[in-house]
Amino acid sequence: MYGLGILKGMAVTMKHFVTSYLDDIFWASRGGRYYNDDALAVRQSLEGKGVITVFYPEEKLPVPERFRFVPFLVTDDPPPGQKWGHEWCTSCGICAKVCPPQCIWIERGKQPNGRPKPEPEKFFIDIDICMNCGMCAEFCPFDAIKMDHDYELASYNRTSAHIHDKERLSKPLSYWREIAPKKAAAEAAARDFAEESKKRKKAKKGEDDGREERLAEVMARQLAYKGAQY
């Protein structure tokens, strides 16, 4: 029959229409369908039914640990009364070299005698150019630069507000632990592991067979790379 195809399609639309109301009714007695964390958690999951719209910015979907937005610099947790602790960055320059659009500028620290100091004097990221690729965080050997989860960076002035300096970029380790707990723990374990094997290697210096230590080190690196599982 001509028009049957259209009617079949209409039935699908009708089903969606009805389901969305049924889901409203389901949530009515459970705190409502919107502005309710329990409901939000299932709305866009495999169990989601009916309307899947999220009312941003009132509601926000949680982001996964690996989510990456403009990077930040990790510092030690701040001593009382201060905003940050000691910078982890050693100004080795790897992130500046690997950054595909070249939006990281680092001025390496100098000791009074002119030798390089493992600390950046200045550190800039132009977030207009940053492509949020995460390469800097992936290749930093000191876990000193990490990808942030804060994606709301809109501003009124593009030309003056979008070059982030060291102050703007620095965030304490506790922040990283908070936004990416599993990843932070895996990284800490890998660091400890590498530290251990280094110590053992030092203690054994002079003896000729460092094979075991080398293996342990390789494993540690591998672990660090994979971030174990998180």
Partner 1 sequence: MSEMTLEAPVAGVKDHSPEATIALLKERYPEHISDDARDGYEGIIVHPDKIVEISRDLQSELGYNYLASLTGVDLIDDNKLEIVYHTASIKHGGNPLVLKVQVDRDNPVLPSVTPIWPGAEYQEREAFDMYGFQFEGHPDLRRILTWDGFHGYPLRKDWREPFYEEDNKPFGSRWPGGEVFRAEERNLYGKNVQYPAGWMPEGDEIEAETDSYAGITYSRDQSPDIKTEKVTINMGPQHPSTHGVFRMAITLDGETIMGLKPVMGYLHRNHEKIGERNTFIGNIPYTDRLDYISSMSNNHGYVLAVEKLMDATVPERAEWIRILMVELTRIANHLWAIGFLLNDLGALQTPMLYYYIERELILDFFEAASGSRMMCNYMRFGGVAYDLPDDVRGQPVMKFLHDLIYERLPKALNQGDQLITGNEIVRARGMGVGYLSPEDAIAYSAAGPVLRASGVPYDLRKANPYSYYEHLDFDVAVRYNGDIYDRFLIRVDEMQQSLRILQQVLPHLEETEGGAINDGKPQYAIRMPKAGEAYGRVENPKGELGYYVTAKRRDANPARYHVRSPSFINLTALEKMCIGHKVADVVAILGSIDIVLGEVDR
Q: β-pairing, 116-126 with 170-172?
A: unpaired
Residue 106's closest CA among 140, 63, 153?
A: 140
Residue written as token pair 């109301």: 21
E strand intervals along 69-207: 69-75, 104-110, 116-126, 145-148, 163-164, 170-172
Q: Does 132 bind ligand SF4 (CB under 6 A)?
A: yes
How far lies 179's CA from each of 85, 127, 172, in Å?
18, 20, 12
The residues of the shown chain that bind partner 1, judged by CB under 8 A, are 2-6, 8-9, 11-13, 16, 41, 44-46, 48, 52, 63-68, 91, 93-94, 96-100, 102, 104-108, 116, 122-124, 126, 131-135, 138-139, 147, 159, 163, 182, 221-222, 225-227, 229-230
Q: Residue 151: how many CB atoms within 10 A of its CB?
A: 13
Residues 6+ apart with CB under 8 A from 111: 117
In the complex with ligand SF4, the residue whose CB is nearer, 34 or 142, is 142
Q: Which does 86 bind (CB under 5 to 8 A by kind): ligand SF4, partner 1, none?
A: none
Q: Which does 107 bind (CB under 5 to 8 A by kind): partner 1, ligand SF4, none?
A: partner 1
The 8-class DSSP code of residue 59 comes to S
100: amino acid identity, one letter: P
Q: Does 144 bind ligand SF4 (CB under 6 A)?
A: yes
Q: Which does 145 bind (CB under 5 to 8 A by kind): partner 1, ligand SF4, none?
A: ligand SF4
The stretch among 4-12, 21-29, 139-147, 178-186 that binds ligand SF4 (CB under 6 A) is 139-147
Q: Does 140 bind ligand SF4 (CB under 6 A)?
A: yes
Identify residues 33-72 at the interface with ligand SF4 (CB under 6 A). 71
Give the chain's radius of gyration (CA, Å). 25
Q: Does 130 bind ligand SF4 (CB under 6 A)?
A: yes
Residues lying near ligand SF4 in the complex (CB under 6 A) are found at: 71, 89-95, 99-101, 103-104, 106, 125, 130-136, 140, 142, 144-145
